[in-house]
Structure 1
Amino acid sequence: MRAAVLRGKRDIAVETDRAEPELRPDEVRVAVSACGICGTDQHIYHGHPGSAAVHPPIVLGHEFAGVVTAVGSAVTGFAAGDRVSVDPNIYCGGCRYCRSGRPQLCDRLQALGVTRDGGMGESCAVPAANCYRLPDEVGDVAGALVEPLGCVLHGFKKLDIRPDYTAVIVGGGFIGQLFLQLVRRQAGRVVVFEPAEGKREQLLRLGADAVFRPDDDEAVRAWNGAADIVIECVGRRESMELAFRTAGKGGQALLFGVSSPETEIAVSPFAVFSKELRIMGSFINPYTHEEAIALIRSRTVDVEGLVSHRFALEEVPEAMREYPRKNVTKGVIVFAAERARESGR
């Protein structure tokens, strides 16, 4: 089969003769239709860890959907032909975190596309327990993007959002746009700080009350200490420090953007103390897949409309190399079967 294989730091290549994955008794084989390119894939590509340590060679891709083509001997809940979205995270079930209802912190966490071959290939072996059937109303590209929406849901549920609260989202990319669609349903006002002028119209369409550039000193001063909720979706020092500046008394600061392990920020402990700030992190997507599918199916959240670039598998090496320069909001690898379906619509 064909697959985009990470061979080392900034070294990814499409192999055309990679062996089909062997199935364990509890697994299904999925012919991948679409696979999202996540910011975490970019981190891994540049030599940083993902949700766990990465040891090349490995097929990246932890956001994907496809069609079941074979089932293991112990699988009873799926059959060939089923369309599925995949939750990539595999928990051990036995560590203290799994046994206390915090599986996302699993001591032995594995993940498709991180510690096991993932969705940037034509076929993938997936534990049946990690597959979720897709309704007809949810296409394959949207099915691939269930996973990032599930991650956003996990962070969203940590927040106490009320109708009289003002929320600030720092970063108006794909993740910021997902948060915006959820937060706008509960908060009284939502403001986004985003440097790219090209995203302004989209952010306003999705429900932002105002969009400001983070280098707009007047806007930054105006929003100093004004937010009840701040959601940081970038992972850079400047954006995180901006998030803390905008957080007001009793504010909640959710650090969602993935930073490099070396990133450090300046935070005033006195501000945390005197404002009674709640600072939270959010890691992966523990059992949020079904809810994410329901939100997409009901059109409560638009995911496919946020896709800015679609790539063929052969384009992956260049796409990964040039990702920042291409101004990609969200990129998705679309495989031949899905391309055929799209052309027939």
Structure 2
Amino acid sequence: MKAAVLQGTKQIEVVELNVDSLSPNEVLVKVKSCGICGTDQHIYHGHPGSAAVHPPIVLGHELAGEVEEVGSEVSTLKKGDRVSIDPNIYCGTCKYCRRNQAHLCNNLQAVGVTRNGGMGEYCTVPEGNCYQISDEMTFEEAALVEPLGCVLHGFKKIQFSPLNKVLIIGGGFIGQLFLQLVKSQQVDAIIVSEPAENKREMLYQLGADRVVHPMDASGIEADVVIECVGRQDTMELAVQAANKGGQVLLFGVSAPDTNISVAPFDIFTKELVIKGSFINPFTHEEAIKLIEKKVVDVQSLISHRFTKEELPVAMENFQSLNIVKAIVKH
């Protein structure tokens, strides 16, 4: 098969690979669509993903396709089934898995991170990581179930009230997903901090009451602050902007060596609740339903589509291309 392989830091090559052998409990998926995640960019620049990455590896943990072949012990899927993939594979035996915190698994594996993923023509996936989708759902929508599932996990950590003013820091793809979910809560107001002018119209269409440039966000106060960028300045802003009794969700993926400066006195006197959110523990099925029922629109958020052959250049120039959400065409 043809696949885009990460050979090392900032090195992607499109090469011919043998299809990975199929274990008894796995299925072979013919990939129809694969999203390019911000985490893929982190991995491309030499940082870890949800787990450590050891090139050479085929990236792509947001994927969907058709079942091409099933292993000898597979009982719930058959050739031709349309599936969306939850990439995360838990060991089931570590203390976190046994405490119903499987996403914190000490032995976490993931399709497109620790094993070959969706930037190839085919991908082998455990049966339990495949979720069947309806004929009405597009494969592009199905590939974007995974990031919505991650957002849903973070979203569930927040308690919303109709009295809340909500600040979303970062109006990219993840911020746009959070915006749609927060809009469904009938909060008092939603403000989005986003520097890119080309995103403003979409943010208003999705339900923002106000969109501000980050330079103008320093005086804003909010009851709920959702940080979707992962930079030092935006994470510090998230804590500073929180009202007394406020909730702060740090969702954006930062570089491992990023540190922020926070005054503990502010956390104490404002009695803030600050939470993190990591991957998507068993939210995949619910995310599928949110897309099917049109509660969340992911299709219209796609800004770019690349072939595998275009990936090396696209990954190198990702920031300058003004990408909101990109898909690998198959």
Q: TM-score, normalised on structure 2? A: 0.99
The equivalences for 1:108-257 within 5 A come to: 108-186=107-185, 187-216=187-216, 219-221=217-219, 223=220, 226-257=221-252
What CA distance in whole angstroms lies between the structure 2 residues aligned with 1:21 and 1:78? Answer: 19
1:334 aligns with 2:296: no
In the alignment of these two chains, the number of paired residues is 329
Structure 1 residue 334: Cα displacement: 1.2
Structure 1 residue 298: Cα displacement: 0.5
2:211 match: secondary structure: strand
Structure 1 residue 238: Cα displacement: 1.0
- For the 8 Å contact 1:141–1:334, the answer to whether it is kept is no
What CA distance in whole angstroms lies between the structure 2 residues aligned with 1:248 and 1:184? Answer: 20
When the two chains are superposed, the root-mean-square deviation of aligned CA atoms in Å is 0.6
Structure 1 residue 80: Cα displacement: 0.3
What CA distance in whole angstroms lies between the structure 1 residues aligned with 2:322 and 2:63? Answer: 22
1:278 aligns with 2:273: yes
Identity %: 61
What CA distance in whole angstroms lies between the structure 1 residues aligned with 2:306 and 2:12? Answer: 15
Structure 1 residue 111: Cα displacement: 0.2
1:41 match: secondary structure: helix
The equivalences for 1:79-94 within 5 A come to: 79-94=78-93
> Match of 2:194, as an amino acid?
E
What CA distance in whole angstroms lies between the structure 2 residues aligned with 1:238 and 1:293? Answer: 34
1:263 counterpart residue number: 258
2:105 counterpart residue number: 106
Structure 1 residue 44: Cα displacement: 0.2
2:46 match: secondary structure: coil
> Match of 1:319, as an amino acid?
A
What CA distance in whole angstroms lies between the structure 2 residues aligned with 1:190 and 1:51? Answer: 30
What CA distance in whole angstroms lies between the structure 1 residues aligned with 2:145 and 2:136? Answer: 13
What CA distance in whole angstroms lies between the structure 2 residues aligned with 1:43 and 1:151? Answer: 17
What CA distance in whole angstroms lies between the structure 1 residues aligned with 2:304 and 2:146? Answer: 18
- For the 8 Å contact 1:4–1:313, the answer to whether it is kept is yes
What CA distance in whole angstroms lies between the structure 1 residues aligned with 2:22 and 2:89? Answer: 16
Any gaps of 5 or more consecutive residues in structure 2? none
Structure 1 residue 220: Cα displacement: 2.3
What CA distance in whole angstroms lies between the structure 1 residues aligned with 2:41 and 2:127? Answer: 27
Question: Deviation digits for residues 293-325 of structure 1, max 9, x if unmatched?
Answer: 000000110001100001111111111111001
> Match of 2:175, as an amino acid?
G
Aligned counterpart in structure 1 of residue 304 of structure 2, from 285, 306, 309 = 309
What CA distance in whole angstroms lies between the structure 2 residues aligned with 1:270 and 1:296? Answer: 42
What CA distance in whole angstroms lies between the structure 2 residues aligned with 1:137 and 1:273? Answer: 50
> Match of 1:109, as an amino acid?
L
> Match of 1:213, as an amino acid?
H
> Match of 1:107, as an amino acid?
N
1:257 match: secondary structure: coil
- For the 8 Å contact 1:3–1:18, the answer to whether it is kept is yes
Structure 1 residue 215: Cα displacement: 1.1
2:41 match: secondary structure: helix
What CA distance in whole angstroms lies between the structure 2 residues aligned with 1:246 and 1:172? Answer: 17
What CA distance in whole angstroms lies between the structure 1 residues aligned with 2:245 and 2:36? Answer: 36
2:20 counterpart residue number: 21
Structure 1 residue 20: Cα displacement: 1.1
What CA distance in whole angstroms lies between the structure 2 residues aligned with 1:160 and 1:117? Answer: 37
Structure 1 runs of 4+ off > 4 angstroms? none
1:339 counterpart residue number: none
What CA distance in whole angstroms lies between the structure 1 residues aligned with 2:290 and 2:329? Answer: 22
2:2 counterpart residue number: 2
Any gaps of 5 or more consecutive residues in structure 1? 336-345
